[in-house]
Amino acid sequence: MAASNAISAVAFVFDRFHNLVLTPQKVDFKVVPPGGAAISQSKTTANGTAWIRLTSARKGGPAKVGASIGDLAEMRVVQQVASDACNLRIKAVPGPKGIAVETEPVRDCSGNFVPDGTVVSFTKTDASGKTTVDAPIKRGVAQVEMAVSGPARISVASGVVNGNELSLGGAR
């Protein structure tokens, strides 16, 4: 969210016979972000193509993106989603088969929830070696249960973002 040049809108201009129009045409782009004011920008086509790049909105949700030439217009709705996770944090509690590890609600740096299905990797290092378990975010959090042999370190990551590391002592 709020990422510079994150939105690209492209228009290809065709005539009524579906041939690409190579003569320069003025295309009016309009973007209506979720909960924001409309942004309009005009571009002239080059070889039948015109495009713009815009900064994404600060909040996720549906954005309307459209292009028009004269009285012809096309509008599409696209879903803006959160950026990469930020300030990824985990906590651990004893579970029936080992240690239950869970993230705090996963958000991007603008406070938007990261979409369900985003993969979070939990890595455990203990006397038995190193184990990594990937878990999808569900309802804002990711969770796993890990067997632990003696003292252990458990860390969390999602994409290129590393979170905190927990140090556990004793067998579970």
Residue 25: other Cβ atoms inside 10 A: 16
158 near 84, Cβ under 8 Å? yes
Q: What is the pLDDT of residue 111?
A: 87
Q: Would you say residue 63 has pLDDT above 50?
A: yes
Q: Per residue, what are the HEC states of 141-159? A: ECEEEECCCCCEEEEEEEC
Residue 111's region, left for phi above 0, alpha for psi from -120 to 50, else beta, is left
Phi-psi region of 16 (alpha: psi -120 to 50; beta: other; left: phi over 0): alpha
**Mean pLDDT, the chain, whole residue set:** 91
Please give the pLDDT value at position 125: 96
What pLDDT score does 36 carry?
A: 80
Q: Is the model more confident about 166 or about 60? A: 166
Question: 90-168 has which fold?
Answer: Immunoglobulin-like (2.60.40)
Residue 157, classified by CB atoms within 10 Å of its CB into exposed (0-12), middle (13-18) or buried (19+), is: middle
